[in-house]
Amino acid sequence: MFHDPYTNLSPAKCVFVSARRQPLSLSIMASPAPTSTGLESPEALARLNAAIMGERNPRGIPSAVFVDSVDTFMDACGVKNIEPLVGALQQMYSKYKFMETSLQKNRETFKRKIPDTQKDLDMASVDCNVGNVCIWLGAQIMVEYPYEEAQELLEKNVATATEKLAQIEEDLSFLRDQVITTEVNIARIFNHDVRRRRQEKDDKLVAELEAK
């Protein structure tokens, strides 16, 4: 039941603790980034966006598919130029970095909040004979709980926050792997294109020499 914080509260029978709100877990769904070019068909671009993403982790973050053979990968997608492939990978890379930054901020928030909530729980647990525990929820709102309910709520908050922190650490580790894979993919594609252009230039030069 909600009470005005300044009425009907007996200091002799109440323990005051402040409930720290835990931020919601970051739900991340990395959708394919649109890539446009007049040289490729919409169907090919759709296949390309789908092909660069693999299985998703439990929080819905897609993995980055390693591009082993650039030619084979492009042929399977039906694209003829590296520009749409590199563009899609760069946008996917940007999404990974954005998610990484967001999760790092959430991690720091949980690392600060968990000890505070644990202190609240410890304070409420000092005397189990206390009749009521009054918990601040913020926005000038206080809720008065029976001792058992207050302890259960605070224990649940600590457990939930600890679990979410572990999930964030897992997601950050997962994201680091995907960032590295995407960086390697982009470098491999650029190197492949450099070799292709050099080979075309050499072939053209040989053809010109043979024609003389």
Q: What is the pTM of this model?
A: 0.74
Task: Please write the tens of the pLDDT for every residue from 13-65.
Answer: 444 444 444 333 333 333 434 444 456 788 888 889 899 999 999 999 999 99
**Tokens 């189990």 — which residue?**
128
Q: What is the pLDDT of residue 128?
A: 67
Name the DSSP letter for residue 29.
-
- CB within 8 Å of 8: residues ≥ 6 apart: none
Provide the terminal-to-terminal Cα distance of the chain, rounded to the nearest Å.
96
> In the chain, where are the structural domains located?
2-23+41-211
| % residues pLDDT > 90 (the chain) | 47
Between 1.10.287.370, 1.10.3720.10, 3.30.470.20, 1.10.1760.20, what CATH number should domain 2-23+41-211 receive? 1.10.287.370
User: 184 pLDDT band (50/70/90 cuts)?
Assistant: very high
User: 117 pLDDT band (50/70/90 cuts)?
Assistant: confident
| % residues pLDDT > 70 (the chain) | 79
